[in-house]
């Protein structure tokens, strides 16, 4: 019963117990009834034999009357022997059981004073009663099993109702949200113990979340301070009229990189807190792709990679701009890193956004693990193995389905399907 619930298992156990008990009782009654039938038949033919012998002793010319299922015979000479039915002529003294036609017949033979006495009894009526009793036992057992199954299902519902209520209450728990204690005064002791354990576990989870939120808040503050200093310094440098145009371009890039780093930091902290990265808004996909690819333009130029954006200018989706840019930046960065020649392409059609490259590809044995944390395929040039794991978590958070198709030396394609 691997897939049966607790309630069905209890009901089945009760029905099985009832079947064993009632079945054993029915078998006992049936066996006892058979013994009683045999004893009754033996008693009937024995009493008839005693009566036959006694009547003959009293009246030597006594001729027994023949019944429908009980026949008695007195054999005094050879002619009377020849008049006997064929199946009774050569029987030895004692009790016999035989089939006469289709009827079971019990015969008792006795010799006394040179005279043979025979009593023949057809037990068809007894067999019929035995069959009816057997059918009654079977019907009784089946009725008892069905009744016990229904009663067991109802009773098991009563027994597991507190477990079911507790399961619903536990399923409604959300870390960090106000909640009522799971322990109630009307609970059974065993259920109360289980509820108390859940309460203690939930309290520990709340404390862990509180400590994590405090840590992420402190980390956010400590990391943003140097980024703010970098952006402020860049702004001050840009106000210097003596700054050359070449240096001004570099300062702008540093400022933009610091801004992107601050946004990525906010995204990571939001994921750590299981919070949304921001509000949903109409996002022009082609613009978002260009923003995500900007930091890697120089590397693409160095490798002579062709970067193609096959997205219509009016392709717009309502989603989180920051989350999508973070995902695209990671996918484009991986594509550039693992592609030495050829192209990187981002395309969109039928609510599917695809980042394709002509790089080294991924072997079939590594494909199922590409979204695991800290996993790096053999020959990975750099990275911590967290980028795709974070991408997968963001996609799961927003209900986007991400898939990968790849083969060694044939490039890779990461597809994001939006709901």
Q: If DSSP codes are grouped into helix, strand and coil, which group holds residue 357?
A: strand
CA–CA distances in Å: residue 381 to residues 339, 376, 385, 388: 11, 9, 11, 15
89-99 residues labelled b (16+ CB within 10 A) or e (exposed): eebeeebbeee
Tell me, yes or no, if the pTM score tops 0.95.
no
Q: What is the pLDDT of residue 48?
A: 87
Place of tokens 């009566």: 51
Coarse DSSP helix, strand, coil percentages of the chain, rounded to the nearest 5 percent = 55, 15, 25
Q: Hey, what CATH class is 278-417 in?
A: alpha beta
Q: What is the pLDDT of residue 173?
A: 76
For residue 66, the tally of other CB atoms under 10 A from its CB is 10
Q: Which residues of the chain have a pLDDT value below 70?
A: 1-7, 175-177, 220-221, 263-264, 266-278, 376-386
Q: If DSSP codes are grouped into helix, strand and coil, which group holds residue 139?
A: helix
Fold designation for 175-275: Helix Hairpins (1.10.287)
Return d(Cα 287, Cα 133) in angstroms, integer: 87
Contacts of 23 (CB under 8 A, 6+ apart): 141
The answer to whether domain 175-275 and domain 278-417 are alike in fold is no
Q: What is the pLDDT of residue 293?
A: 92
The domain limits of the chain are: 6-147, 175-275, 278-417
DSSP label at residue 18: H
Q: What is the DSSP string of 284-326?
A: EHHHHHHHHHGGGHHHHHHHT-EEEEE--TT-EEEE-HHHHHH
109-138 residues labelled b (16+ CB within 10 A) or e (exposed): bbeeeebbbbbbbbbeebeeebeebeeebe
Return d(Cα 185, Cα 341) in angstroms, integer: 71
Residue pLDDT, tens place only, 320-346: 888 898 899 989 988 998 899 999 999
Q: What is the pLDDT of residue 343?
A: 95
Which of 52, 94, 100 minimizes the C-alpha distance to 76? 52
Q: What is the pLDDT of residue 324?
A: 92
Largest CA distance in the chain: 158
Judge contact between 348 and 354, C-beta under 8 A: yes
CA–CA distances in Å: residue 290 to residues 26, 260, 294, 345, 346: 83, 14, 6, 12, 10
């Amino acid at each position: 019963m691997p897939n049966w619930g607790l309630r069905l298992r209890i009901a089945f156990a009760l029905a099985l117990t009832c079947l064993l008990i009632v079945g054993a009782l029915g078998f006992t009654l049936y066996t006892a009834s058979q013994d009683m039938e045999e004893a009754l038949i033996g008693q009937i033919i024995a009493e008839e034999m005693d009566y036959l012998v006694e009547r003959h002793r009293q009246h030597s010319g006594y001729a027994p009357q023949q019944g429908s299922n009980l026949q008695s015979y007195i054999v005094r000479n050879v002619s009377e022997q020849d008049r006997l039915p064929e199946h009774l002529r050569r029987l030895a003294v004692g009790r016999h059981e035989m089939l006469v036609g289709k009827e079971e017949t019990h015969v008792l033979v006795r010799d006394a004073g040179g005279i043979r006495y025979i009593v023949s009894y057809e037990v068809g009526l007894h067999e019929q009663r035995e069959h009816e009793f057997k059918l009654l036992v079977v019907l009784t057992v089946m009725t008892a099993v069905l009744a016990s199954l229904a009663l067991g299902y109802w009773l098991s519902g009563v027994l597991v109702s507190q477990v079911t209520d507790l399961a619903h209450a536990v399923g409604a728990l959300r870390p960090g949200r106000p909640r009522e204690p799971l322990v109630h005064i009307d609970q059974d002791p065993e259920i109360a113990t289980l509820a108390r354990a859940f309460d203690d576990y939930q309290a520990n989870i709340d404390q862990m979340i509180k400590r994590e939120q405090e840590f992420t808040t402190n980390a956010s503050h400590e990391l943003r301070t140097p980024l703010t200093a970098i952006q402020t310094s860049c702004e001050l440098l840009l106000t210097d009229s003596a700054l050359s145009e070449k240096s001004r371009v570099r300062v702008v890039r540093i400022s933009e990189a610091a801004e992107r780093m601050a946004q990525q930091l906010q995204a990571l902290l939001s994921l750590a807190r299981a919070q949304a990265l921001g509000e949903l808004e109409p996002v022009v996909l082609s613009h978002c792709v260009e923003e995500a690819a900007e930091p890697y333009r120089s590397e693409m130029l160095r490798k002579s990679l062709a970067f193609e954006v096959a997205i219509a200018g009016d392709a717009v989706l309502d989603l989180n701009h920051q989350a999508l840019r973070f995902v695209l930046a990671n996918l484009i960065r991986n594509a550039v890193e693992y592609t030495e020649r050829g192209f990187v392409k981002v395309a969109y059609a039928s609510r599917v956004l695809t980042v394709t490259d002509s790089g080294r590809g991924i072997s079939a044995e590594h494909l199922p693990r590409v979204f695991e944390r800290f996993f790096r395929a053999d020959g990975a040039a750099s990275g911590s193995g967290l980028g795709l794991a974070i991408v997968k978590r963001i996609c799961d958070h927003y209900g986007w389905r991400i898939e990968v198709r790849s083969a060694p030396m044939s490039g890779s394609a990461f597809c994001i399907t939006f709901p």
